[in-house]
Structure 1
Amino acid sequence: MEKTLPPIPAKRYFTIGEVGDLCGVKPHVLRYWEQEFTQLRPMKRRGNRRYYQHHEVLMIRRIRDLLYDQGFTISGARNKMQELLQTERDKKRNGEVMLEGVEVIELDADDLDDMDSLLPGDPFDETAVPLLQLRRELFEIRELLAFADQ
């Protein structure tokens, strides 16, 4: 049942109809999934109208994939979602960043020290130097946060 889903527009809130179109499921299925998956809690406004945020649309797509494409039961998909969310929480707690579709380059402190010697005239692109400096600062912040958690 592999169906290509449309890209998610850059909006803050989505109605249940929009989410149904974006995720390839009908609104009554979304309402049912809210009862089955406790992580799925859209904001409700006047007249109990549901408004979903971007992360909830992604979660619904993940649930849809588990149920429709991977063949999980509701119970199995619920357990898998709990595992996935716990894994993401653990990664955030450990300072790892979840960036879907972005290749992550692991650097250690020696690599960062080597970058200090880069000058705009080096063969590296000049625009990369500020990004490398920012990356170094973020690396240092991650180290401090990891130390503070111990």
Structure 2
Amino acid sequence: MPAAGEKSPELEPIPGKRYFTIGEAAKLCDLKPHVLRYWEQEFKQIQPVKRNNRRYYQRQDLLLIRQIRSLLYDQGFTITGARQWLSSDEASDDTTRYQQLIRQTINELDDILKLLKSAK
């Protein structure tokens, strides 16, 4: 965890897998597994799939966990404040902006791919 006022280091990209174990999720979010288990109790939005007494996180879980991590560690929110922020309209607006950015990026990558294919 960074010192107060210090920005967290960049997290590695999330691989294109469907499910991640708690160990993999913890590593990708730069957290300890016990922190993830605790956050599951505090944030009802985190709902990993549970099979055979094991947790499996999906990509959207990791994105949410990273957002919570940023709110708590980078922006100085309390758990209660982060919970309120996630349920607010502001979070919805950010999610919409994020989805629009992803769509735009995908379209730009498609355009680049078409250019590369036509250059052959």
What TM-score results when the alignment is normalised by the length of structure 1?
0.59
* 3-state secondary structure, aligned to 1:44: strand
Contact 2:68 2:82 in 1 (8 A): yes
Equivalent-residue separation in structure 1 for 2:68 and 2:98 (angstroms): 22
User: CA 1:60/1:102 → structure 2, altered by over 3 Å: closer, same or farther?
Assistant: same
Equivalent-residue separation in structure 1 for 2:45 and 2:90 (angstroms): 9
**1:64 equivalenced with 2:65 (yes/no):** no
What TM-score results when the alignment is normalised by the length of structure 2?
0.73
Match of 1:78 in 2: 83
RMSD: 2.6
* 3-state secondary structure, aligned to 2:101: coil
Q: From 15, 30, 49, give the equivalent of 1:9.
A: 15
Contact 2:21 2:55 in 1 (8 A): yes
- Unaligned runs of 5+ residues in structure 1 are 105-126, 129-150
Match of 1:50 in 2: 55
Q: Which has the larger radius of gyration?
A: 1
Larger RCO (CA under 8 A, 6+ residues apart) = 2
Which 4+ residue blocks in structure 1 deviate beyond 2 angstroms? 99-104
Aligned-pair identity in percent equals 53
**Counterpart of 1:50 in structure 2: which amino acid?**
R
User: CA 1:97/1:29 → structure 2, altered by over 3 Å: closer, same or farther?
Assistant: closer
